[in-house]
Structure 1
């Protein structure tokens, strides 16, 4: 297995480690945007790409013209480091944090970094999407297998992890160096999916071994992986967040919701304990949970329809990653070290550009 190493992938890790040791703020955000022109500006820090979330933010400020949103896009590990530092009184505090690395968000709430809030809309959420009235799941997004439809078709298409294993065993030359997944050391989301797989799948060890034999590529960033599949650099990508595929415009990228089980993630929203604009952040939260916003989120791929006739996914195959203290296990040092050791045994470092 090959691990692509670049500054963008490794910098968040270094910053997270530094913040954990000395409590300093992490590096600046990846990108910024401003929505609306209202005098009261909400600072929202998020792992969601600006291009994807834009329709929802534009609708919110249209409904609340007295408000504006200063939107900062972060990598998940860097956002976690910045949020921990802000909670400890180091660095600027956001008014809301919205992250796909939900295990990190549970850690923040458990560390008393969150603000408690209740409304009819938060109370209506299922138990898997709220915790302690301080953390709320906004979206429902599947972890999917994507593939290049020009190069893989028919019986070769891996409908589940078992058929993926069969494909790797039966056609190694075709796939060698052409399978991609997240680098779990650089991606908080990638680590969460790997941790969830290790608990859920009897195939986890076999899949990891198969990736090693195929010299699979571990890299960062959903958009980069999907583009690589479209361009034919990768033929298959594993555990990619399905919402990024839905927002892409590549005609030759196929999507599989694995039939054995499909992980479903809800991006988590938190209002920090020391936020300057808590009421305004709560208005944003309630809007995101409204029928209007949920319809927009469904249209842009951030909410998966539950109709099996549309998805082909049976209810029994859905595995929701619940917002609960159980996710703290994912951040246990021994558990992390064990998973990173397994990962390291399969991956080598590729320093080629």
Structure 2
């Protein structure tokens, strides 16, 4: 499997166009009764973000806010098409698939904005004054508390590997993660893992041996763990686990390294309400909104005293041109092929 990691490093440049995705949003909500329309497209579940958008609507009663919830790949495809073809653009786009957002900014699809709130962000959470990281969310390992307890709980990838090797039948068909062909977020986490050559190949080998399951959605994965259909789920976004509030589900911040994502916000070049979109951004970065986001599980402290994570094991995913490599056509094809081979359908005797 080391050969796979080396292959990823040797591919040629060239950005990919994602596979065709549905152009329809998954859900829609409206906030406020004002006459001035503001369209926000986001991958964040309406139920999670609702208190934050409701508060902004209270502060700006002149607005009638339409919030569209999208899957990450579909949102990227729609935003890219709007930018290229002059379609009906959102006034703001807010996505967890930050590599796709970097690609949109790189393609000159974004409007710039500067304010004290944006300038106060660390450099890893802002790029070219056109993309800003609003949240702080770790990628976690979750497990069923009834199936695993005490020393059996794998607190690192190395421990998970050891557990699978020692008792493969316990885990057969009962490890889940995102389907990276369908999930831009899942792809980002898998790509980030592929840069960690010490564990990635071995982990994929182990997943293949026990017929691990790749599926679409955070809610489905977490519910599967809660019900005991899955013993472990790998690389789940921690905010969704927090919001599920299932006591049967335990959460691990991996001690070898923990990926930390900052969900990103962009004002499209074709936005009709750029000023209000900028006001919404500044509000999201305000102390009031950050507290609301924290209550919603979208802000997780990375302070070592609270998380027990040493600074050396925190892997922040920066908003930078380096993420464009994740969308390289050849690199993506290699990773998707490797993933499909790992998560192939179990053989029938």
Shorter-chain TM band = over 0.9
Match of 2:313 in 1: 317
Match of 1:53 in 2: 49
The structure 2 residue matched to 1:17, chosen from 16, 19, 22, is: 19
Structure 2, unaligned runs of 5 or more: 1-16
Q: Deviations over 1:119-161 (max 9, x none)?
A: 0100010011000000000001000000000111111101000
Question: Does the residue aligned with 2:85 lie in a helix, a strand or coil?
Answer: coil
Rounded to whole Å, the distance in 2 between the matches of 1:201 and 1:59 is 44
More displaced 10-residue stretch of structure 1: 42-51 or 334-343: 334-343
Match of 1:302 in 2: 298
The structure 2 residue matched to 1:288, chosen from 284, 291, 298, is: 284
Matches of residues 89-104 of structure 1 in structure 2 within 5 Å? Answer: 89-104=85-100
Match of 2:29 in 1: 33
Rounded to whole Å, the distance in 2 between the matches of 1:349 and 1:214 is 11
The structure 2 residue matched to 1:249, chosen from 231, 245, 270, is: 245
Q: Once superposed, what is the RMSD of the aligned Cα atoms?
A: 1.6
The structure 1 residue matched to 2:39, chosen from 33, 39, 43, is: 43
Match of 1:112 in 2: 108
Question: Within the alignment, does 1:188 sit opposite 2:184 as a pair?
Answer: yes
CA contact (8 A) 1:265 1:320 kept: yes
CA contact (8 A) 2:141 2:252 kept: yes
Q: Deviations over 1:181-240 (max 9, x none)?
A: 001111100000000001135100000001001100000111110011001111100000
The structure 2 residue matched to 1:211, chosen from 202, 207, 212, is: 207
Rounded to whole Å, the distance in 2 between the matches of 1:83 and 1:153 is 44
CA contact (8 A) 1:146 1:254 kept: yes
Rounded to whole Å, the distance in 2 between the matches of 1:323 and 1:54 is 25
Matches of residues 117-128 of structure 1 in structure 2 within 5 Å? Answer: 117-128=113-124
More displaced 10-residue stretch of structure 1: 152-161 or 85-94: 85-94
Cα 1:100–1:174 shift into 2, 3 Å: same
Match of 1:276 in 2: 272
CA contact (8 A) 1:93 1:274 kept: yes
Rounded to whole Å, the distance in 1 between the matches of 2:79 and 2:65 is 18
**Matched residue count:** 332
Rounded to whole Å, the distance in 1 between the matches of 2:260 and 2:48 is 18
**TM-score, L = length of structure 2:** 0.92
**TM-score, L = length of structure 1:** 0.91
The structure 1 residue matched to 2:152, chosen from 128, 153, 156, is: 156
More displaced 10-residue stretch of structure 1: 193-202 or 228-237: 193-202
Question: Does the residue aligned with 2:33 lie in a helix, a strand or coil?
Answer: coil
Rounded to whole Å, the distance in 2 between the matches of 1:329 and 1:204 is 18
CA contact (8 A) 2:211 2:345 kept: no
Match of 2:168 in 1: 172
Rounded to whole Å, the distance in 1 between the matches of 2:303 and 2:100 is 30
Rounded to whole Å, the distance in 2 between the matches of 1:18 and 1:222 is 21
CA contact (8 A) 2:41 2:67 kept: yes
CA contact (8 A) 1:47 1:76 kept: yes
Deviation (angstroms), 1:17: 3.0
Match of 2:12 in 1: none
More displaced 10-residue stretch of structure 1: 291-300 or 101-110: 291-300
Structure 1, unaligned runs of 5 or more: 1-14, 20-25
The structure 2 residue matched to 1:261, chosen from 235, 257, 268, is: 257
Deviation (angstroms), 1:33: 0.3
Question: Does the residue aligned with 1:292 lie in a helix, a strand or coil?
Answer: helix
Cα 1:194–1:75 shift into 2, 3 Å: same
CA contact (8 A) 2:86 2:270 kept: no
